[in-house]
């Protein structure tokens, strides 16, 4: 049975197959090797690479801020898709990288719309740690399914720069931006009626010092809040999936082809997937001890709330779930392993990685379950279905093709030695919110087409320029545009070389 949702959709006249139409990914052009950072920090070998599951970490110089990241990823998406700025009716930004307590990043992005004459664009910034991007996506979908929708696309941007003070947390930084075009008849369709949320008050990770980029972190509490939120969202999602007719007497682990998680570091993603199996195991009245749960008999009386830091439980279920994890979740960690924690874009970087690691044929028709978490805390679990249409020129074919160069772009980055990375972090710390200020970071190392900060005047007004988008000789080369983009005529609303953020 399809459940009551189909009848409800017809009654309410919802547009069909609302979801993610297109995606664009941006990450910094420079990185530091985690193995080299281990030596520089004087920690044991493998602490970052094995203990956290990270290999590289992307970072930004003083030339990039949250505004420039968003400018880059938005213009990149518009150029790749060929849409006009007039076709966008809502623009939502999810970020926790605040550089102004009043003026939103969204208003800065409106400068890209000036040439098109389109100022009728709803939406604003959304902030709650790493959950802001998901809240922005929810807002966009809700708008399209409301009486206020005017038929245009919504554009959702998640962007952050994650930096930490010198110490054992610095290795969990990262940076990046994801842009998602949302509309009907999408290749990634959000499943209606099965979204679950868990919200509560906690001081696990927060940023009370407005003069600093650094957060205050209670590491142990942060992990506990994350896993507790995962338990709650998974249980509620399972109930709603049954009510919607999606889940009929089986586990969500069985009906989902892939799972994407918020990824502070990749070892936590492995633990999270194992946690889902633990949830299923404890509520299963007749666990199969000869199959999926072989060797887990001694954990039958475990209580979820007592197992957050139980290494025996954690290890046993990570071992039992390993084959499922490698098939259903590991492909989504490609970007996080090499870029680090991007905060709000983290979950959607996982979705982009999953798509990039699959072929058009292998991804069509799949169901993906996503878990989003932001400290403080806010969380949600929801799912999407990949369309079956994989014909040439289809929306799915375009989406898969647009992300096919992800690994090439990662490989094209510039490696920076740990001492130089450390100096860059010190520079950011000393110049954060300085005014006036002229950035000193090099521009030549940035990817073509990257927006960057040129100056901040005495009134904190920021100016940006875009590095020329010059195609390389090889089509589809990392950090470059494809040949299809070279041939495409200029997009409506193309901008002058300088933008000003009147903060």
Per-residue pLDDT tens digits for 397-423? 999 999 999 999 999 999 999 999 999
Q: Left if phi > 0, otherwise alpha if psi is -120 to 50, otherwise beta: which for 41?
A: alpha
At 383, phi and psi to the nearest 5? Answer: -140, 160
- 478's CB contacts (< 8 A; 6+ apart) are 405, 408, 409, 410, 411, 412
- Six-digit token pair at 303? 């209580």
For the annotated catalytic residues, the residue numbers are 96, 130, 262
Strands 30-33 and 414-415: parallel
Q: pLDDT at position 247, please? A: 86
Q: How far apart are the first and last CA of the chain?
A: 54
The closest alpha carbon to 388, from 186, 216, 164, belongs to 186
Q: pLDDT at position 470, please? A: 73
- Annotation-wise, does 267 bind a ligand? yes
Alpha helices, H only, 200-345: 219-243, 252-255, 266-283, 311-320, 322-328, 334-339
**Contact between 129 and 217 (Cβ < 8 Å):** no
Map residue 73 onto helix, strand or coil. Answer: helix
- Six-digit token pair at 269? 């993603």
- Annotation-wise, does 222 bind a ligand? yes
- 369's CB contacts (< 8 A; 6+ apart) are 237, 252, 256, 258, 259, 260, 381, 382, 383
What is d(CA 391, CA 255) in angstroms, rounded to the nearest whole number? Answer: 25
Per-residue pLDDT tens digits for 14-64? 899 999 999 999 999 999 999 999 999 999 999 999 999 999 999 999 999
Enter the DSSP assignment of 429.
H
Q: pLDDT at position 293, please? A: 95
The closest alpha carbon to 185, from 15, 351, 355, belongs to 15
Alpha helices, H only, 334-482: 334-339, 346-356, 360-363, 395-402, 406-411, 418-431
Q: How many residues does the chain have?
A: 503
Helices 311-320 & 266-283 angle (0-180, nearest 10): 90
Map residue 325 onto helix, strand or coil. Answer: helix
471-477: long-range contacts at Cβ-Cβ below 8 A with a sequence spacing of 24 or more? 476/404, 476/405, 476/408, 477/405, 477/408, 477/412
Q: What is the 3-state secondary structure (H, E, C) of 98-155?
A: CCCCCCCHHHHHHHHHHHHCCCCCECCEECECECHHHHHHHHHHHHHCCCCCCCCEEE
Q: pLDDT at position 473, please? A: 43
- Give the H/E segment covering residue 41: helix 34-41
Q: pLDDT at position 471, please? A: 53
List, for the chain, all residue ranges whose pLDDT scores fall below the cut of 50. 1-8, 10, 472-503
Which residues on adjacent β-strands are paired with residue 372?
A: 380
What is d(CA 179, CA 342) in angstroms, rounded to the nearest whole number? Answer: 13
- Give the H/E segment covering residue 40: helix 34-41
- 190's CB contacts (< 8 A; 6+ apart) are 18, 19, 20, 141, 382, 383, 384
């Amino acid at each position: 049975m399809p459940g009551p949702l189909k009848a409800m959709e017809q009654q309410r006249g919802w547009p069909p197959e609302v979801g993610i139409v297109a995606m664009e990914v941006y990450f910094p052009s420079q990185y530091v090797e985690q193995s080299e950072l281990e030596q520089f920090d004087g920690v044991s070998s493998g602490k970052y690479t094995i203990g956290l599951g990270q290999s590289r970490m992307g970072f930004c110089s003083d030339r990039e801020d949250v505004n420039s990241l968003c400018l880059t990823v938005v213009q990149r998406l518009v150029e790749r898709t060929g849409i006009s700025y007039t076709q966008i009716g809502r623009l939502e930004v999810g970020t926790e990288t605040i550089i102004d307590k009043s003026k939103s990043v969204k208003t800065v992005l409106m400068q890209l719309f000036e040439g098109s004459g389109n100022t009728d664009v709803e939406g604003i910034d959304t902030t709650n740690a790493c959950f802001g991007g998901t809240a922005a996506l929810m807002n966009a979908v809700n708008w399209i399914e409301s009486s206020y929708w005017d038929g245009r696309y919504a554009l959702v941007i998640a962007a952050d720069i994650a930096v930490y003070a010198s110490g054992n947390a610095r290795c969990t930084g990262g940076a990046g931006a994801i842009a998602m075009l949302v509309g009907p008849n999408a290749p990634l369709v959000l499943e209606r009626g099965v979204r679950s949320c868990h919200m509560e008050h906690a001081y696990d990770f927060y940023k009370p010092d407005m003069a600093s980029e650094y957060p205050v972190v209670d590491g142990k509490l942060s992990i506990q809040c994350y896993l507790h939120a995962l338990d709650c969202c998974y249980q509620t999602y399972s109930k709603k999936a049954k009510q919607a007719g999606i889940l009929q007497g089986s586990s969500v682990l069985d009906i989902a082809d892939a799972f994407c998680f918020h990824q502070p570091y990749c070892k936590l993603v492995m633990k999270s997937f194992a946690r889902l199996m633990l949830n299923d195991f404890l509520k299963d009245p007749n666990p199969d001890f000869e199959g999926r749960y072989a060797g887990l008999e001694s954990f039958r009386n475990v209580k979820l709330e007592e197992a957050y830091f139980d290494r025996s439980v954690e290890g046993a279920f990570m071992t039992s779930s390993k084959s499922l994890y490698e098939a259903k979740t590991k492909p989504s960690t490609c970007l996080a392993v090499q870029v680090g924690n991007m905060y709000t874009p983290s979950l959607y970087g996982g979705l982009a990685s999953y798509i990039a690691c699959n072929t058009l044929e292998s991804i069509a028709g799949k169901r993906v379950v996503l878990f989003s978490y932001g400290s403080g805390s806010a969380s949600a679990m929801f799912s999407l279905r990949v369309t079956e249409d994989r014909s040439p020129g289809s929306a799915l074919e375009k989406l898969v093709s647009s992300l096919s160069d992800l690994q090439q772009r990662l490989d094209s980055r510039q490696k920076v030695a740990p001492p130089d990375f450390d100096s860059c972090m010190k520079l950011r710390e000393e110049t954060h919110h300085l005014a006036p200020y002229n950035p000193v970071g090099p521009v030549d190392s940035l990817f073509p087409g990257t927006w960057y900060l040129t100056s901040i005047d005495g009134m904190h007004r920021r100016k940006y320029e875009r590095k020329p988008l010059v195609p390389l000789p090889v089509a589809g080369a990392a950090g470059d545009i494809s040949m299809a983009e070279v041939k495409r005529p200029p997009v409506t609303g193309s901008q002058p070389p300088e933008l000003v953020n009147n903060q």
